[in-house]
Amino acid sequence: MDIKPLSEVELNNTEASRGSSPSEPSPLVRDDEVFIRMTPIERLQHITLILCFVLLVLTGLPLLLDPAMWLKKLFFFETSFAWRGWIHRIAGVGLISLSVFHLFYISCTQRGRDLFWALMPKLKDVTDALESFGHNLGVTRWMYEKGILTQFFDRHPYWLFRQPPQYGRFNFIEKFEYIAVWWGNVVMIASGFFLWATNLSFRLFPLWVYDIFKIIHSYEAILAFLAIIIWHLYNVHLTPDVFPMSRVWLDGTITGHDLRTHHPLEYEAILEARRQAARTTRDTEAQRSGAQINGDQTLDRKSGG
Amino acid sequence: MTCLRALGALLLLVFRVRSLSANDPNEQCLMCHEDQSLKNQSGHSVFVNKGGFEQSIHGKSGISCVSCHADLESVKDFPHAETLAKVNCASCHDQPQKKFDASVHAVARVGKEAQAVTCVSCHGYHDVLESKDVHSKTHPLNQPQTCGSCHLSQVNGKKGQGFVKDFLQSTHGIALSKTGLANSATCASCHGSHEVKRTADPAAPISRRQVPNTCGQCHAGILKDYLEGVHGQDFAKGVRDVPVCTDCHGEHQILSPQDKQSKVYSTQVALTCAKCHDNEELIRKYNLPEKRLRTFQGSFHGLASAYGETKVANCASCHGFHNIRPSSDPNSPINPAHLPQTCSQCHAGAGEKLSQVKIHILDPKAANYAGYMIQKAYFVLITFMIGSFVVYIVADLKTRLMQRSRKV
């Protein structure tokens, strides 16, 4: 467990621009407390997905690139192109199996169902995205400073996006990525199936339909590849707070500190639940002994909104 | 003519009787020339290998030393004068000599003394063997070595020096050296023997107009196919640019089509055809259909082929090879009536539907309008998405780094 030095914790806590996130750790949820974010079975699904995805990209990419000399050199033995095809298909079957397993996971286990519904976007995610973009770009604040539309902004300070949005267990980026994986999987598996069963497709459809499958499979692959290496890697691993890599995908845990700073609403929910539990305990103990519990003040203090 | 021949025979008979009566006149010569250390004044060996001569075609047929060294016939005092007249093979072999005199070798002899080729260069001296004899320097098995004795290093022609080596690695050379087929093509099969001529000479068997017939001496069935095809028919009409055998197969380095280095290896075919069919000048001159190579390379067949896959279709899979016919020809594999069958060779059961599609269409809009629009839509989507990602990331990075510097 990585315990952050006190000085850094304090720096984070006093940070004004982090908005209204809980600025101080509560004794009920300590900063070095460890929470499970990904269970072993979820990490296994994630690692399988990485493996299949990397294999699919590596073996599919040559078809989208010009067979220039350096690329041709990788296909140095006679059956190498056929091998490329078979590895691609095997990885494809791996991805299909993973999708089926995941369907089973999110429908047949309680945790799976909870995660699935937590990952479904709500109206708040749309406004979160807007606020996050608006806050980071700072265009409206710049306009305000330059005296453009000041009257409008004075009346509607919301549009200045002074504070970044607060996220719960999954932010809009994570939800978007989860849905994108679903969408991509469905599109790639469907088009990939018909590309694999070439002669079946030729019997079923005219050639232009087959060509469309090819186009969709190619462009969807480019989109997925770019989304992963740009969007996913930045937001999860390369963003300055976690650079160079988040360890969640390996050990599956998140600290109280990271919950508080990155998932303040989830932190609040946990805190609230514990307060309730503490109150219940305190009430029963008070009834029993009439004694007071220390730290009452701290527990009742609401930190931000 | 008959009279002359009879006279010749009579002369030969007299000659033989005379030589026999002298109790083998060769003995007289060999008395001195059998000595291995015998040298003339300028230090050249004048040793004659008796055994070699006796095994030679001349020795076997009882020709004596003086038959060739004719100026010694009348000499009575020995040792004879050092300088003798050059042996004139033409005194008996007048036909080969005539052919040789018209050949490139005779021209070379006149031009440059250093590269002089004479009868003995290929046939040897006293030990001349019949070319049917496997030990003969002119037997098919030994021709590459005999010709190569000059053409491997000494002669620097237009094609450079290595072509005898190329030949040895070719399918013909391998048939000769490894399989031991004496009837495989060797130097003289294509170039002729005494009458070797330059490619530019229209009479040469290797001149453009002669190549199909030269190859057809052995590959008769292929010559027949070729002449039935569009290339062969234009060849017969005298079109100069039309490909002949060597344009696709190469010359000395002809390899089996199964050989990866072959110009007609599955993955190389498209590039070989493209030499003409992707040549702007020829396309304009003969009104050939355009962009055949590019449209092929853009297809899955072309792409897989470029990566070395041999199972995908190449030009020849659909168009045929020696007897390529235009699609208007009812016997053509790309004639609409035959297309289903042609496509079905690989795509079982799909030929009927595939045959209705046009191939080699350059304009993606015309080839598949819906596909083209989907492609455009994806292009816009990807640009928008990735663009948004990048903008967000840059802004996010800026905000976070600024916060960080404010903290420090």
pLDDT the model gives residue B300 = 92
Say if residue B77's pLDDT is above 90: no
Q: How confident is the model at residue B165 (pLDDT cuts 50, 70, 90)?
A: confident
| CA distance linking residue B102 with residue B100, whole number of Å | 5
Shortest alpha-carbon distance between residue B279 and chain A (Å): 21
pLDDT the model gives residue B376 = 96
Shortest alpha-carbon distance between residue B184 and chain A (Å): 29
**Which of B268, B353, B356 should one mutate to test binding to chain A, selecting the residue with the greatest count of A CBs within 10 A?**
B353
Q: Do B406 and A206 touch (CB under 8 A)?
A: no
Q: What residues of B are in contact with residue A233 (Cβ under 8 Å)?
A: none
Mean pLDDT of B365-380: 93
Say if residue B171's pLDDT is above 80: yes
Range of A44-53, B157-166, B187-196 with top mean pLDDT: A44-53
Mean pLDDT of B240-246: 94
Nearest to A199 among B350, B375, B389 (CB): B350
| CA distance linking residue B67 with residue B15, whole number of Å | 9
More confident residue, A204 or B26: A204
pLDDT the model gives residue B110 = 63
Q: How many domains does chain A have?
A: 2
CA nearest to B357 within chain A: A207
Shortest alpha-carbon distance between residue B353 and chain A (Å): 6
Q: How confident is the model at residue B164 (pLDDT cuts 50, 70, 90)?
A: confident
Instruction: Mark B358-389 as b/e (b = at least 16 C-beta within 10 Å).
Output: ebeeeeeeebbeebbebbeebeeebeebbeeb
Kindly state whether B407 is in contact with chain A, defined as any CB-CB distance less than 8 angstroms: yes
8 A C-beta contact, residue A81 and residue A60: no
Say if residue A97's pLDDT is above 50: yes
pLDDT the model gives residue A243 = 84
Mean pLDDT of B67-73: 85
Q: Do A67 and B348 touch (CB under 8 A)?
A: no
Which string of DSSP letters, residue by residue, matches B74-109? T--SSSPPS--PPP-GGGT-HHHHHHHHTSHHHHHH
**Which of A202, A228, A239 should one mutate to test binding to chain B, selecting the residue with the greatest count of B CBs within 10 A?**
A202
Q: How confident is the model at residue B17 (pLDDT cuts 50, 70, 90)?
A: very low
Q: What angle do CA A34, A37, A41 make, to 5 degrees?
A: 120
Mean pLDDT of A150-154: 91
Cis bond before residue A244 (omega within 30° of 0) = yes
Shortest alpha-carbon distance between residue B389 and chain A (Å): 6
Say if residue B280's pLDDT is above 90: yes
Which string of DSSP letters, residue by residue, matches B336-361? TTTHHHHHHTTSTTTHHHHTTS--S-
pLDDT the model gives residue A107 = 96
8 A C-beta contact, residue A185 and residue B348: no
Q: Do B399 and A72 touch (CB under 8 A)?
A: no
Give strand pairing partners of A26: A29
Mean pLDDT of A113-128: 95
Kindly state whether B384 is in contact with chain A, defined as any CB-CB distance less than 8 angstroms: no
In this structure, of A17-21, A33-37, A91-95, B354-358, the range with the lowest mean pLDDT score is A17-21
**Which of B311, B380, B399 should one mutate to test binding to chain A, selecting the residue with the greatest count of A CBs within 10 A?**
B399
Which residue is associated with the tokens 């088009």?
Answer: A191
Four-CA torsion B222, B226, B228, B232, nearest 10 degrees = -160
| CA distance linking residue A29 with residue A257, whole number of Å | 9
The mean pLDDT value of chain B amounts to 87
8 A C-beta contact, residue A165 and residue A128: yes
Q: Among residues B128, B177, B171, B126, which one has the least CA distance to residue B148?
A: B177
ipTM (interface predicted TM):
0.83
Q: What is the 3-state secondary structure (H, E, C) of B283-318?
A: HHHHCCCCCHHHHHHHCHHHHHHHCCCCCCCCHHHH
Q: pLDDT tens, B184-194?
A: 999 999 999 99
Nearest to A212 among B374, B390, B398 (CB): B374
Say if residue A25's pLDDT is above 60: yes
| CA distance linking residue A261 with residue A18, whole number of Å | 8
8 A C-beta contact, residue A164 and residue A127: no
What backbone torsions phi and psi does residue B45 show, to the nearest 5 degrees?
-70, 135
In this structure, of B75-89, B95-109, B257-271, the range with the lowest mean pLDDT score is B75-89
Q: Among residues A273, A279, A256, which one has the least CA distance to residue A13?
A: A256
CA nearest to B258 within chain A: A78
Nearest to B400 among A208, A223, A241 (CB): A241
pLDDT the model gives residue A286 = 80
Q: How confident is the model at residue A303 (pLDDT cuts 50, 70, 90)?
A: very low
pLDDT the model gives residue A12 = 38
Q: How confident is the model at residue A10 (pLDDT cuts 50, 70, 90)?
A: very low
Q: Do A219 and B398 touch (CB under 8 A)?
A: no
| CA distance linking residue B334 with residue A146, whole number of Å | 71
Enter the pTM of the model.
Answer: 0.79
Interface of B with A in 184-223 (CB under 8 A): none
| Helix and strand counts by DSSP (H, E) for chain A | 15, 2
Q: In 3-state terms, chain B is what percent helix, strand and coil (to 5)?
A: 55, 0, 45
Distances (CA, A) of B75 to B87, B220, B229, B376: 16, 56, 67, 99
Q: Do A75 and B307 touch (CB under 8 A)?
A: yes
Q: pLDDT tens, B294-322?
A: 999 989 999 999 999 999 999 999 999 99
Residue A127's domain comprises: 122-166
Mean pLDDT of A152-173: 92
Say if residue A298's pLDDT is above 50: no
In this structure, of A49-58, B190-199, B214-223, B353-362, the range with the lowest mean pLDDT score is B353-362
- The residue type of B35 is D
Ramachandran area for residue B45 (φ above 0: left; ψ -120 to 50: alpha; else beta): beta
Q: What angle do CA B111, B112, B113 make, to 5 degrees?
A: 125
| CA distance linking residue A205 with residue B350, whole number of Å | 10
**Percent share of chain B, pLDDT over 90:** 54
Mean pLDDT of B21-33: 74
Q: Do B307 and A214 touch (CB under 8 A)?
A: no
pLDDT the model gives residue B154 = 67
Q: Do A223 and B300 touch (CB under 8 A)?
A: no
A196 part of a folded domain: no
Say if residue B60's pLDDT is above 80: yes
Kindly state whether B366 is in contact with chain A, defined as any CB-CB distance less than 8 angstroms: no
Shortest alpha-carbon distance between residue B344 and chain A (Å): 10
Kindly state whether B382 is in contact with chain A, defined as any CB-CB distance less than 8 angstroms: yes
Say if residue B20's pLDDT is above 50: no
**Which of B295, B297, B368 should one mutate to test binding to chain A, selecting the residue with the greatest count of A CBs within 10 A?**
B368
8 A C-beta contact, residue B182 and residue B172: no
8 A C-beta contact, residue B179 and residue B196: no
| CA distance linking residue B359 with residue B347, whole number of Å | 15
pLDDT the model gives residue A74 = 86
Nearest to A223 among B347, B371, B381 (CB): B381
CB atoms within 10 A of CB A129: 18
pLDDT the model gives residue A301 = 39
Cα A119 to chain centroid, rounded: 9
Kindly state whether A211 is in contact with chain B, defined as any CB-CB distance less than 8 angstroms: yes
Q: Do A227 and B375 touch (CB under 8 A)?
A: no
Kindly state whether B345 is in contact with chain A, defined as any CB-CB distance less than 8 angstroms: no
pLDDT the model gives residue A299 = 41
Interface of A with B in 228-247 (CB under 8 A): 230-231, 234, 239-241
Q: How confident is the model at residue A213 (pLDDT cuts 50, 70, 90)?
A: very high
Q: Is A254 exposed, middle or buried (0-12, 13-18, 19+ CB in 10 A)?
A: buried
Range of A26-35, A47-56, A293-302 with top mean pLDDT: A47-56
Q: How confident is the model at residue A291 (pLDDT cuts 50, 70, 90)?
A: very low
pLDDT the model gives residue A35 = 93
The mean pLDDT value of chain A amounts to 86
pLDDT the model gives residue A168 = 92
Say if residue B84's pLDDT is above 90: no
Q: Is the dihedral of CA A184, A189, A190, A192 positive or negative?
A: positive
pLDDT the model gives residue B113 = 52
Q: Do A207 and B348 touch (CB under 8 A)?
A: no
Tokens in use for A168?
Answer: 């719960």
Kindly state whether B380 is in contact with chain A, defined as any CB-CB distance less than 8 angstroms: no
Which residue is associated with the tokens 């390899």?
Answer: B255
Mean pLDDT of B76-97: 85
Q: What residues of A are in contact with residue B382 (Cβ under 8 Å)?
A: 219, 222-223, 226
